[in-house]
Amino acid sequence: MKTKLNDEDLIRQHFTTNPNACFEELYNRYVGKVYNRCLSMTKDSEKAQDYTHDIFIRTFDRLDRFQEKSTFSTWLYSISFNYCLDQIKVARRLPMSNLDGQQGYQFADIQEKESLEERLQLLNQALQQLSPMEASLLRLKYQQGLPIQQIAQQLGLQESAVKMRLKRSRQKAHQLYLTAAKR
């Protein structure tokens, strides 16, 4: 009879030799608990399902980073909590609404539409004048909505460095925007 390995032993013994089986076993052990965590935070079963799926993909992608400083379940719950919290923050910053075809979205007048297009062009010009790193930082933060911690991990920087570079990049983009607007 096969004895059930604890999470840490399962990862140590099977992650490199049979990653799919390792992932499937961990998924089966924790999918219900992660879903319940997501549901308790979002109060939306559809979002909870989506978030659960995303969390397991992220966890599997980062499984090689699991250092056993805590139990796997604690590590997974931490990832789950932080992911849900990040998604909730993004949703508050960028509210979404269903487009059911009943609402008419029209610009108040042609001048307002032209003004918006002009501002977007000026912003795009400003972004093009930034260094690739500055533009990338701003896009990661404001287009993709990534948290500082995740940007720091992606770029291999300290969080404080990311914050300072974001601040400087925003200031530089703002100055370039204002300069372009004066022309």
Cβ count within 10 A of residue 181: 13
- The C-alpha atoms of residue 45 and residue 39 are separated, in whole angstroms, by 6
Cβ count within 10 A of residue 22: 21
Task: Name the residue ranges covered by the structural domains of the chain.
Answer: 7-93, 110-182
* The pLDDT of residue 52 is above 90: yes
Q: In this predicted model, what pLDDT tens digit does every residue of 120-177 receive, in sequence order?
A: 788 778 888 888 888 888 888 877 788 889 888 888 889 898 899 989 988 988 888 8
- The C-alpha atoms of residue 54 and residue 146 are separated, in whole angstroms, by 14
Give the CATH architecture of domain 110-182. Orthogonal Bundle (1.10)
Residues in the chain: 183
Q: In this predicted model, what pLDDT tens digit does every residue of 79-110 receive, in sequence order?
A: 888 899 888 888 787 766 555 555 555 545 55
* CATH dotted code for 7-93: 1.10.1740.10
